[in-house]
Amino acid sequence: MRAIVFATELRKIVVGASPRPGIRCGGPGDRDQLIAAGADATWVDWGISNGSTFIVAEEEGRIAGYSCYATCENVPHFSWLVIRLRPGLDVCSVGGFVIPERRGQRIRGDMRCFAARYFFEQGYQRMIGVVDATNTASLRSNATSGTDRFATLTRVRIGKLIVVWQGRALRHVRWGARPFAFVVPESASRSVFCI
């Protein structure tokens, strides 16, 4: 599996971003509508229980898309990867969805810009996101909304042996299923794996 890590200063996303009508902060009251729109119930419930912020795009009273952002210290992305955030400074994009008939219309990018402004106004400094390298729509959305590609992580599992590379450098070898914690340092010039 290959994952792309994005790490971008919020002020960079906010500059020049104009809000699209119909985008708002969601919450627990939107749970059923999020799931009806295509959100995974497990992720929605995880986000609600951890106080994550849901950004929703509505059209004619119906949710056309959503994005979820977490600010807790350890954010699980995959069974093998946890992103460690700086409390009060980093926000992590943990997923989203756009209904099929509205895909390709920059809704995810517009929700990301809305989220960047929302968190920037609360004092957060950086947005981090992790995208499966095979998810071309999310990679394209990140590229068009001003986020910076920071690292490529590649995981290979052979039985219980897990090997993770960052780019071409071997970063970690682990026996067992405990996930790796990936830290994007403040300077974002290098990253650190923690166990």
Predicted confidence (pLDDT) at residue 131 exceeds the cutoff of 70: yes
The pair phi, psi for residue 164, each rounded to 5°, is -125, 130
Order the strands of the 192-194 sheet from edge to edge: 74-78, 81-84, 180-183, 192-194
Does residue 189 have a pLDDT over 70?
A: no
Q: pLDDT grade, residue 118 (50/70/90)?
A: very high
Cβ(77)–Cβ(83) below 8 Å: yes
CATH class of 2-194: alpha beta
Q: pLDDT class for 188, splitting at 50, 70, 90?
A: low
Render pLDDT for 86-97 as a digit per residue (tens, 0 to 9). 999 999 998 888
pTM above 0.85, yes or no: no
**pLDDT bracket for residue 124 (50, 70, 90):** very high
What is the rounded average pLDDT of the residues 57-81? 86
Domain spans in the chain, listed from the N-terminal domain onward: 2-194
Tokens representing residue 161 in the block: 């042996």
Q: What local confidence, expressed as pLDDT, does residue 146 receive? A: 66
Residue 64, Ramachandran bin (φ over 0: left; ψ between -120 and 50: alpha; else beta): alpha
5-50 confidence digits (pLDDT tens): 888 889 888 876 777 889 999 888 888 988 888 888 887 888 888 8
